[in-house]
Chains A and B, each alone.
Chain A
């Protein structure tokens, strides 16, 4: 614990990361209290006050139907975090199971599982998610499915590589000798050794999931209005550059802040857990 505190405190960037994430989490959790106009997350119109530059009371300006941009960005954070958490909660177990099985069982299982993983990894991530969203209706749930479909192979790869190395370790061989079942060895012996790497990757990935999801909605294939979403805000605002710059710049910076925070945190975590992945 002392070491953890030391690593965090000795690096100003780590403190910044923790701070940013705290800020993002706090505003997402207490959006109803922080947002000056909570009702603006939905369908509200105020054509007497639309497309206004930053000022008071709309510190980030208003959008094209007169809604407060700051309030909408805060609610968009909440949505992004939920989406990121759900995607990782779905993708990690799938990827881990595939990676463990392929790495430990070997043979045909390895060939089949890892070649399937390769197929998914051979389609550029965004393109795969786009194709899937083309099939499905653009809703929050389907967006999660599409991003999950492109995410699990990375965990499969990661766990596969670790398993390959761990398989030859003494403790695994010992377990085999005393006749432990394969499931026991995979999930009770090898899996715990994958945790540090998985945890680090998940922290880093939370940021990247938010990034990819916003890219999807930027292309019109993600969450639909009136639900506030950072990617679609940037896309919609881009039509009004440079005059109404606040429509794109603030949501864009909001993405940057959140992802940057998770990256700094993941970076720190990597140092603490000391995994070289």
Chain B
């Protein structure tokens, strides 16, 4: 356990270092955006004096180093500045939109694991057979279209032609769910509103599936590949020769070791889904961070761009940290020797 703790501290340190790097990178990108953010924020009717005043207020006339110093200073107090687009603190905007995106990504992640791993195991068990080839085909198809194409296809099929699912939004406006965690699926249950929970679930089903499809394919393929490899190992042969039941071999000998690479990929896919959520949210009018993100990029809203990217990157790093810890817990060998990079 101590080793795991030490690993956690080391990884946390590296993550913070990387996050600092991300902040420098994205800060630099945001500051060289052409067009005057003050002019854009104030609108076409503003006078030159007003623009100059806002530039002063935003410290846009100072050097980029001084601007970065102010940014770090604000950040240390948990502030990300004011959004010029919504006229609200960026932290407040993100706090409002992030839960919807996270909820979507987490549900998609669960879908990915619950569908991807069993499919991969099935394919490995019957490798070379029909099931294996079908899984291979499906998983390749899954990763072969951007999630917005899946979103359009799913929406056309299951919201328009077969109106089984709602077309947009997170929940019907008739429900009023008190915000505790920001995750409607959790909040509705906390409040004891089963109908609201069911409605939220119906709303999230299609966008989450569209987002998860490519991940499901990858998880299935990876699980299959690793299980096939471990099936061929001597100790599995030995277990088989001892007459262990096949399901037990699959679970104890083939599945557990093959979980490790699958977990790694899940960590990476989580990152991809955080980004791809932008595409799915646009189609399903999901009130997450995406519409905000695209809008602030188009409007050169510096503080909001930096804040959004920083938060998404932090979520990504945390997810990978969790994955690393899980792997360390499963596999004692990695616990000791895993290279930090």
Contacts and interface: CB of A to CB of B under 8 A. Distances in A.
Interface in A122-164: 122-128, 130-135, 137, 160
B33 interface: yes
A131 B309 contact: yes
A220 interface: yes
B155 interface: yes
A256 B313 contact: no
Interface residues of A, number: 49
Contacts of A241: 152, 155-156, 160
| Those 9 A-B pairs whose CB atoms lie nearest each other, nearest first | A126-B275, A124-B275, A119-B21, A260-B144, A134-B297, A252-B149, A242-B160, A256-B145, A259-B144
A113 B160 CA distance: 50
B26 interface: yes
Contacts of A242: 156, 160-161
28 contacts: A115-B21, A116-B21, A119-B18, A120-B25, A122-B18, A123-B25, A123-B316, A124-B312, A126-B279, A127-B308, A127-B312, A134-B30, A134-B298, A135-B32, A215-B276, A218-B148, A218-B282, A238-B283, A241-B152, A245-B156, A249-B152, A249-B153, A252-B148, A252-B149, A252-B153, A255-B146, A256-B141, A263-B144
Contacts of B155: 241
A149 B322 CA distance: 27
A244 B219 CA distance: 35
Given A124-B271, A134-B33, A263-B143, 9 more contacts: A13-B137, A118-B18, A123-B316, A124-B312, A211-B146, A252-B148, A252-B149, A255-B145, A264-B140
B301 to A, nearest CB: 10
Nearest to A137: B34
Contact of B22 (A122, A126, A220): A122
A124 B272 contact: yes
Given A130-B278, A252-B152, A122 B144 contact: no
A221 interface: yes
A127 B146 contact: no
Contacts of B276: 126, 215
Contacts of A119: 18, 21-22, 25
Interface residues of B, number: 52
B32 A124 contact: no
A95 interface: no
Contacts of A245: 156
A130 B275 CA distance: 10
Nearest to A135: B33
Given A124-B316, A245-B156, A260-B140, A219 B149 contact: no
A66 B112 CA distance: 41
Contacts of A203: none
B136 interface: yes
Nearest to B300: A134
B246 to A, nearest CB: 26
Interface of A: 13, 114-116, 118-120, 122-128, 130-135, 137, 160, 207, 211-212, 214-215, 218-221, 231, 234-235, 238, 241-242, 245, 248-249, 252-253, 255-256, 259-260, 263-264, 267
A118 B341 contact: yes
A245 B143 CA distance: 23
A220 B293 CA distance: 13
Contacts of A215: 146, 148, 276, 279
B12 interface: no
Contacts of A122: 18-19, 21-22, 313, 316-317
B322 to A, nearest CB: 15
A134 B305 contact: yes
B341 A114 contact: yes
